[in-house]
Amino acid sequence: MTVQGLGKEIGIMDRRQILTAGVSALGILTFLRATEGALAGTFAVVKSEAAWRSRLGSAGYAVLRQHGTERAGSSPLNAEKRAGRFVCAGCDQPLFASSAKFESGTGWPSFITPLPGAVGTTTDSSLGMSRTEVHCRRCGGHLGHVFADGPAPTGLRYCMNGVALRFEPA
């Protein structure tokens, strides 16, 4: 092969590589979007909106299914100090151990960590802020947000709506 021919060959390969890379990036983006869509819409527990309203009541429905926030200090779970666990009000999945609860002074039940695999997170860009939204991994119900201003050892503050939780004493 001549030098010129080699150059042309390399040129073709470069264009192919660029094309392949372009297709791959597009493919990955498409895959990610499809995956996000699937994750957003697919949970182990799925109910109709009417069934959720019936189970949760208006206050629970507004938080868990409509990303609402309860009034600070309104949940009796703020003062819950017994040993036990906090489960999802939507599907009963255990979410937080009582040992992970701490008094944040915010008026919302706060935890330093969830139980392993119990919650998922998404980026919430509403209200002109970028926050990390926390939801139940099993039913997708909105629980609250997680902030990086919590106490040791995690440094995290899972700021939860009490109405999204139910306490089960040990």
Q: Which of the residues are catalytic?
A: 159
Sheet containing strand 101-102, edge to edge, reads: 101-102, 110-111, 157-160, 142-147, 131-136, 119-124
For residues 155 and 148, the answer to whether their CB atoms sit within 8 Å is yes
Kindly state the smallest distance separating residue 42's Cβ from Zn ion, in Å.
14
Candidates 138, 142, 145, 157; binder of Zn ion (CB under 5 A) is: 138
Nearer to Zn ion, 42 or 130 (CB): 42
Stretch that binds Zn ion, among 69-77, 105-113, 134-142, 161-169 (CB under 5 A): 134-142
Candidates 90, 109, 114, 162; binder of Zn ion (CB under 5 A) is: 90
Nearer to Zn ion, 84 or 94 (CB): 94
Q: Output 113-120 pairs: Cβ under 8 A, ≥24 positions apart.
A: 113/154, 113/156, 113/158, 114/158, 115/85, 118/93, 118/94, 119/95, 119/143, 119/158, 120/39
For residues 90 and 139, the answer to whether their CB atoms sit within 8 Å is yes
Nearer to Zn ion, 18 or 135 (CB): 135
Kindly state the smallest distance separating residue 28's Cβ from Zn ion, in Å.
30
Establish if 139 lies at the interface with Zn ion (CB under 5 A): yes
Kindly state the smallest distance separating residue 12's Cβ from Zn ion, in Å.
54
Establish if 136 lies at the interface with Zn ion (CB under 5 A): yes
Establish if 91 lies at the interface with Zn ion (CB under 5 A): yes
> How many chain residues are in contact with Zn ion, going by CB under 5 A?
8
Q: Which helix (H) or strand (E) holds 18?
A: helix 3-41
